[in-house]
Amino acid sequence: MDFFSIEFWVICQMVIDLIIIGMILYFFRTLQAATYSKNLGVSVKHITSMLEPILKETHTTAKEFDIQLREKKRLIKELNEKLESRIISLNLLLNRADEYLKRADKIKVGEQLYTNDYQSEIIQLYEKGFDAEAIGNKVSMPTGEVELVINLKKKFAELAQ
């Protein structure tokens, strides 16, 4: 290769140009990195200051949501308990109604249904000296209902005086 040929100088010029371009790129990258790191600190602080109130509000909202969720669970539990007690009461009433229907089928006289006035019968038996349990067995009613009828009769008698 000849040092004075044009190809040699063209290749040298190209190598020098590439080195200069590489140095310029390196300079811009280091300048950009320095500027970026300065701006990054400022940007991070700015973004943090913007996000901090949002995060606090989100935390407050999450706490409120948790409180409301617990309250709703408590209310649902309470409603379920009340519904269960009402279902039990309804089942008892249905069973009692079934017993009354069975008893009514047994009391049929001819074509007409014989209706028995249980309250007056309970009062008559009580006035004869029977206790609530004996009256309940005699009229086929729960003792609690018999006691209720007797207590109501006593209250009405007291009010009448």
In terms of Cβ atoms closer than 10 Å to its own Cβ (0-12, 13-18, 19+), residue 134 is middle
- Yes or no: say if 115 and 130 are a contact pair by the CB < 8 Å rule: no
Share of the chain above pLDDT 90, in %: 9
What pTM does this model have? Answer: 0.36
Share of the chain above pLDDT 70, in %: 80
Distance CA 161, CA 157 (A): 7
- Yes or no: say if 107 and 113 are a contact pair by the CB < 8 Å rule: yes
pLDDT, position 76? 92
pLDDT tens by residue, 86-142 = 888 888 888 788 777 777 665 544 433 334 467 888 888 999 999 988 998 888 888
Query: Scanning the structure block, which residue is given the tokens 């320095």?
Result: 34
Angle in degrees, CA 102, 107, 113, rounded to 5: 100
Q: Would you place residue 38 in the very low, low, confident or very high pLDDT band (cuts 50, 70, 90)?
A: low
Distance CA 5, CA 126 (A): 142
* Domain spans, the chain: 51-107, 116-161
Residue 75 has pLDDT above 90, yes or no: yes
- Nearest CA to 47 out of 36, 35, 55, 58 is that of 55
The whole-chain average pLDDT of the chain stands at: 79
pLDDT tens by residue, 11-30 = 888 999 899 998 888 887 87
pLDDT, position 109? 43
Q: Is 48 helix (H, G, I), strand (E, B) or coil?
A: helix
